[in-house]
Amino acid sequence: MAAARKQNVAQDVSVARNLNVAIVGGGICGLALALNLHRRGIAARVYERAPEIKELGVGITLLPHAMREFTALGVGEELLAAGIENCESCFFNRFGQLIYKEARGKFAGYAFPEVGIHRGRLHTILYDAARKRLGDMRIKVDHECIGLEQDEDGVTVHFKETSLGRPLAPVHADVVVACDGINSVIRKQFYPDDKIVFTGINTWRGVTRRKPILTGRSYMRVGSILTGKIVIYPIVDNADAEGNQLINWMAEIKRDTFEANDWNKQGDLADFFPLYEGWRFDWLDVAQMIRDADQILEYPMVDKDPIERWTFGRVTLAGDAAHPMYPRGSNGAAQAAIDARTLADVLQSNADPREALRVYEHARCAAAAKVVRTNREHPPDFINIKVEELVGDKPFDNLDDYITQDELRALSENYKRIAGFSLADVAPGQPG
């Protein structure tokens, strides 16, 4: 019996190694999936719509469960060297008073660090690793997906050149994974009425060169979404010869409006700065930091309602194409990386790729939906909101008169547990 089981496993692995997987989208999720599949001996090609890969965007935080996934792919040390390891997370009210702080990453006992890094640098590290391991010919840029069809034998994906709009030769694959983001063309094919959800929160993101703040490895949440909020953390150490860091910040404002910001548009100070103009604390002049920004971009705070089905025959969704979530709590990249590892595992261990995609959906769909809903209803800055409700929108003399540090710690631990990165969830062993 045992011998028969071993033979079946060997046959399944052999079948998996003959799979041909097309990954539509060369962002964090798509590249992580390509690297995971390569580790398991499964052939994959990545098709990215951008004509070329550039270091774009601003900052991102890689939580311990994200670093666990990237460390398993062999890029953890490179990511840590390219970013800054956070040692603490600090919560302040909009008057600059400390509400609560806690250790983070390895400083909190995790086996993996928490890292602030430039999103473009993260993308480049994954892209370079994929090119080196898979080969340049398996990473195609300037390929915009315009649709697909499938039959019993496989899937045919159609592309055009993003830069010139010319049609490209169709691609045939055994499995197609949509990693093409929140505006996924493939998801739209299966959900034609799919819509982005915007509830009146707009954001402005910037990077500023300045001296380190607090420890120089502190992640700061200041204010609340109700009266004005800003998240601040460093992403590059020694950004110049003067000992400055590159500081990432994101301002969030909720208004009674349904006029959403544009995507990746240059931000206008006049649209949001007046709310922060008086934010000058003894530990940071927030207003000056905003004024000194190298660049400011605007984004809407959007997600999509969770869907119960990701898999359609030989086609499945992953990352933001499957579960776009609010960019708060630093969980989007982690959930995408977990998708990638889970999908690679089941493709390796199942002889029928369609069954493998169903197993993947069962493993990840409900779990990711819980994170989407948590980020909407009970975000990590719920601590700031709770204190503002208890104290009123004013400075406090003694916070313990309203809420204890133990109660605040319980709120923080509850979010980590729901989002899947409590200390117990992020085990020392590496997945995959």
Whether 4 has a pLDDT exceeding 50, the answer reads no
Question: Which domains can be identified in the chain, with CATH numbers?
Answer: 2-86+112-195+305-377 (3.50.50.60)
* Identity of residue 249: W
Asked whether residue 8 carries a pLDDT value surpassing 70, the answer given is no
Is the pLDDT confidence value at 105 over 80?
yes
Strand order in the sheet with 88-92: 98-103, 88-92, 218-224, 228-236, 245-254, 197-210, 295-303, 265-266
pLDDT over 70, % of the chain: 93
State pLDDT tens for residues 171-203.
999 999 999 999 999 999 999 999 988 888 889
Mean pLDDT of the 129-134 span: 97
**How distant, in Å, are the alpha carbons of 61, 75, 106, 339 from that of 130?**
21, 11, 28, 17
Rounded to an integer, the average pLDDT of 288-294 is 96
Residue 374 in this model has a pLDDT that exceeds 90: no
Q: φ and ψ at 326, to 5 degrees? A: -55, 135
* Average pLDDT of every residue of the chain: 91
Eight-state DSSP code of residue 152: T
| Residue 16 scores a pLDDT above 70 | no
Instruction: State pTM to two decimals.
Output: 0.91
Sequence-distant (6+) residues with CB within 8 A of 18 are none
Average pLDDT over residues 374-398: 88
Q: DSSP character for 312?
A: B
pLDDT digits (tens, 9 = 90+) for 230-256: 999 999 998 888 899 999 999 998 887
pLDDT beyond 80 at 327? no
